[in-house]
Amino acid sequence: MNRIVLKWVMLGGALLAPAASFAADVSCTREGLKAAADLYLTAQTKGDIAGLPLAKGLGYVENFKPMNIDEGLIKKAMKIDHNRSLLDTSTCQTYTEIIVSDKSAPYALGTRMRINHGLIAEIEMMWTTTGYWGFNVDAYLKYATSEDWSPIPTTAKRDTRATLVAAANAYLDAFLEGKKDLVPWGYPCNRTEGGMHTGKGAADDSCDVGVPSGVNIANRHFVVDETMGAVVAFCTFGAGGPNGGSGAPDTHLFRVEDGKLRFVHTMTHLLQAAGPGRGAGPGKGPAPSK
């Protein structure tokens, strides 16, 4: 009898061991968060979440709307042409920027995950595709892959978390207040908005162009990677009120060097045919009505 019990105990342990060690690889260290991001990339490539260590009660959100993960874009297999991940050890989060240039189903998307005790507790995705604001996948891919987002080489040269968040907030605040002089503009600085691009490769390229005023960039939450000098804000373009824009889901991803903006990537989940009077868009000319 003891041998039979021992046999089942050993078998049960063998069945459970892979899952336990699998989850143990995911943690709040840079290595553990990279492991989580890599697992997500594998899952998104396959359109299969079976390999993800998901927490019971997982929160899954797309474009600011909670939904069933089994009905989500994460279940769509994709050939990923570009990816870049931020690893936030302070809040145990990751953010992964993805570009898929497949002509039949192109996407630009950003996915945030929060890790809790070795399991993925939250997945939030913001995506755009053909017909959405400024979307041009070939241009987005061209510029995103030509930029240098390599780690800031030494701790002494890395901006603090507070500096990175402050730079992002100053930029986003300028949409409402119009106080662009408070934004830490860097030169050169290039912005890619769904594919639309500022800058010509010159030393005086600036991101201080076409930033409208009077729009409240609301509902902000951040993922910060001091090692990369990067911060991303999930937000809404407007508060969703009668005079505050539609509240279209949006991400703004920033590269900051020596406290100054270097690159800005934006995606807005807004159909181009959003209606008459929608204006020139998030970063071009007058504020859109959205």
Domains held by the chain: number: 2
Q: Give pTM, 2 decimals.
A: 0.86
Residue 8 within a domain? no
CATH code assigned at 84: 3.10.450.50
Q: Walk along the chain (290 residues) and give the pLDDT tens digit of each residue.
A: 455 444 434 444 444 434 444 545 999 999 999 999 999 999 999 999 999 999 999 999 999 999 999 999 999 999 999 999 999 999 999 999 999 999 999 999 999 999 999 999 999 999 999 999 999 999 999 999 999 999 999 999 999 999 999 999 999 999 888 889 999 999 999 999 998 998 888 999 999 887 777 889 999 999 999 999 999 999 999 887 666 566 899 999 999 999 999 999 999 999 986 532 333 344 433 333 33
Q: Give the whole-angstrom CA distance, residue 13 versus residue 226.
A: 40
What pLDDT score does 272 carry? 84
Cβ(58)–Cβ(51) under 8 Å?
no
CA of residue 284 relative to chain centroid, distance: 21
Determine, yes or no, domain membership for 12: no
- Tokens encoding 143: 């510029």
Tell me the three state secondary structure of residue 262. Answer: strand
Structural domain contains residue 9 = no
What domain range is 173 assigned to?
146-268
CA 182 to each of CA 69, 78, 126, 171, 206: distance values in angstroms, whole numbers, following the listed order: 40, 40, 28, 8, 15
Same structural domain, 94 and 150 = no
